[in-house]
Amino acid sequence: MMSGQRLQGCRSLHLNEDNGRFVLLAVLIVLYLLCGAAVFSAIERPSELRAHGRWHGTLLNFSETFNVSLQELNSFLREYEAAIATGIRADALRPRWDFTGAFYFVGTVVSTIGFGMTTPVTVAGKVFLIFYGLLGCAATILFFNLFLERIITLLAVVMKAVRERRIRNSGLLPPGIRHDFSAYSLPGWKPSVYHVMLILGLSAITISCCASAMYTPVEGWAYLDSLYFCFVTFSTIGFGDFVSSQSAAYKYQSLYRVANFFFMLMGVCCIYSLFNVISIVIKQVLNWILEKMSCLFCQRCNKATVLLGRRNAIRPGSKSRQGRTGQLSDSDGPCDSDTEGRRLSGEMISMKDLAASNKVSLAIMQKQLSESANGYPRTVCGSSRLNGFSGGVGALGIMNNRLAETSNSR
């Protein structure tokens, strides 16, 4: 009876923790948006006011020079804005709705980039876009998730092989294992989310720099503008202020369009994977914040139980005790170390404590990752909720238990 009550209490506690993490993330996102709005308003608002002033002066000058009323001039400009929506520009551009232009358009639709340079204007085109985008976007997101799964598996295999080679060459293995290292093979090892994030980040930077080196001479953009275009495109933001492959003709046009397609595909896949790996780190930070809040709550209420007593949540400064068997000690509470006392007293986190917490937290994208690499079947058990990365859908579901920081076992 007591065990059943404890199980029910743990389940309600987990639901409360999940809700707490969701609310905390929502609050932080709102604060992030407010800070971003303040920064961009301070940076861009003066330029906007100056642009409005210049444009108003230009209209007045044109109206006086050619004896055209401002009302007639504004009416003409509204007609031109409607023409822009259909793809008409003052400079000669490529046709928007020939086969190659339509293929470029549907690529921006299913990848959710949506530059806005080309949009359907007929009722039939708009209705078809709704159904076409519904299926196409879903299929492309599935493709991105499968790409993420395979890139993490590939990185795990390569990093595991490198680690095994370093251990083999270090001469620190026992004689029995040294002669038959294949029997050892680092059981249960998984790569760190920070290493995967570093590799994906460097890959994204490399792709962006190479693509910018191509866009700068071909499109006539500044290199910084090309880098800006690469991030906006690869992250599927797609403002549309810079759009590649829009001129009527290019030197080596076919080669350029193939290279443009390749860079966009690889860039979007790489940035998508990087964003999802960064989300693991953000979730770790949320776990740590909630645990600190739980520790403060427990101290004030003098309770023995903790709201978030997870062994696998991030705890900067809380070192896990390990015996000779390598197992974590279950006696470690979330607030029982001297370091935790220093944290709660307001002392800053030292680099040593932060490094120690990272070592403890380096195990959550690894187990399923190792299982995929070694051919073991994936299993889902109730204990997956103990690490703060339970289940999940989409990319989080793929990464669950595949990295060191999302694994059940440490």
Cβ contact 209:215 at 8 Å: no
pLDDT at 172: 65
For residue 98, how many other CB atoms are within 10 A of its CB? Answer: 10
pLDDT band at 352 (very low <50, low <70, confident <90, very high): low
pLDDT at 192: 85
Q: Is the pLDDT of residue 386 over 90?
A: no
pLDDT band at 116 (very low <50, low <70, confident <90, very high): confident
Which whole-number Å values give the CA distances from 192 to 14, 196, 282, 362, 408, in the listed order?
25, 6, 15, 5, 14
Q: Is the pLDDT of residue 147 over 70?
A: yes
Query: For the residues 315-337, what does the mean pLDDT come to?
Result: 43
Is 183 or 288 the better-scoring residue by pLDDT?
A: 288
Q: Is the pLDDT of residue 349 over 50?
A: no
pLDDT at 130: 96
pLDDT at 300: 75
Cβ contact 238:114 at 8 Å: yes
Mean residue pLDDT of the chain comes to 76
pLDDT band at 168 (very low <50, low <70, confident <90, very high): confident
Neighbour-count burial for 200-232, b at 16+ CB within 10 Å, e otherwise: beebbeebbeebbeebbebbebeeebbbbbbeb
Beta bridge partners of 365: 402, 403
For residue 395, how many other CB atoms are within 10 A of its CB? Answer: 20
pLDDT, tens digit, 9 for 90 and up, residues 6-65: 445 555 555 577 888 899 999 999 999 999 999 999 999 999 999 999 999 999 999 999
% pLDDT > 90, the chain:
39
Q: Is the pLDDT of residue 5 over 80?
A: no
Query: For the residues 100-117, what does the mean pLDDT come to?
Result: 91
pLDDT, tens digit, 9 for 90 and up, residues 242-289: 999 888 888 888 899 999 999 999 999 999 999 999 999 998 899 899
**Considering only CA atoms, which of 288, 309, 384, 409 is closest in space to residue 9?**
309
Query: For the residues 172-183, what does the mean pLDDT come to?
Result: 55
pTM: 0.69
Cβ contact 406:364 at 8 Å: yes
% pLDDT > 70, the chain:
65
pLDDT at 96: 83
pLDDT band at 237 (very low <50, low <70, confident <90, very high): very high
- Residues 349, 353, 359, 365, Cα dihedral to 10°: -10
pLDDT, tens digit, 9 for 90 and up, residues 354-365: 455 444 444 444
Beta bridge partners of 366: 403
C-alpha Rg value of the chain to the nearest Å: 28
pLDDT at 296: 83
Is 355 or 160 the better-scoring residue by pLDDT?
A: 160
Q: Which of 88-92, 124-128, 369-373 has the lowest mean pLDDT?
A: 369-373
For residue 313, how many other CB atoms are within 10 A of its CB? Answer: 26
pLDDT at 401: 62
pLDDT at 54: 95
pLDDT at 354: 47
Query: For the residues 137-148, what does the mean pLDDT come to?
Result: 92
pLDDT band at 335 (very low <50, low <70, confident <90, very high): very low
Q: Is the pLDDT of residue 224 over 80?
A: yes
Q: Is the pLDDT of residue 403 over 80?
A: no
Q: At 402, give phi and psi (nearest 5°).
A: -105, -15
